[in-house]
Amino acid sequence: MNIKNLENHTFPKYLVVFRNYISNYIRLTKSF
């Protein structure tokens, strides 16, 4: 149960980082 809780916490973190990465990439593309 503890491991599952850890996974639930880690997954959204990666998702947020991924979203931020895509947002920055889109901003960079619009800049050019």
For 1-32, the pLDDT digits (tens) are 566 776 666 677 888 999 999 999 999 998 76
In terms of Cα–Cα distance, which of 21, 3, 24 is closest to 13?
21
Residue 22 and residue 6: Cα distance in Å, rounded? 25
Give the predicted TM-score (pTM) of the model. 0.52
Which amino acid, residue 15?
Answer: L
Residue 6 and residue 4: Cα distance in Å, rounded? 5
Q: What is the predicted pLDDT for the residue at 30?
A: 87
Residue 9 and residue 18: Cα distance in Å, rounded? 15
